[in-house]
Amino acid sequence: MRTAARRLAGLAAFLAPWEAAARSGLVDPVVLPPPSLVLARLAGLLTDAEFLRDAAATLLAWLITLLLAAGIGIAAGLLLGSVRPLRLATAPIIEFLRPLPTVALIPLAVLVLGSGAQAKITLATFASVWPILFNTMYALGEFDRGLLDTARVFRTPRTRLVGAVILPGIAPFVLTGIRLSAGIGLIVLVSTEFLAGSDVGVGRFVYHRGSTSLSMDVVLAGTAFVGLAGYLVNLALLAAQRRWLGWAATGGAV
pTM across the whole model? 0.85
pLDDT in tens, 112-165: 988 788 999 999 999 999 999 999 988 887 766 666 656 665 566 666 666 666
Half-sphere exposure of 72 (CA within 13 A, CB side): 16
d(CA 204, CA 191): 9
pLDDT > 70 fraction of the chain, expressed in percent and rounded: 87
| pLDDT, position 162 | 65
Enumerate residues 6+ apart whose C-beta is below 8 A from 147.
165, 169
Domains of the chain: 50-201 (1.10.3720.10)
User: Long-range contacts of range 158-163, CB-CB < 8 Å, 24 or more positions apart?
Assistant: 162/78
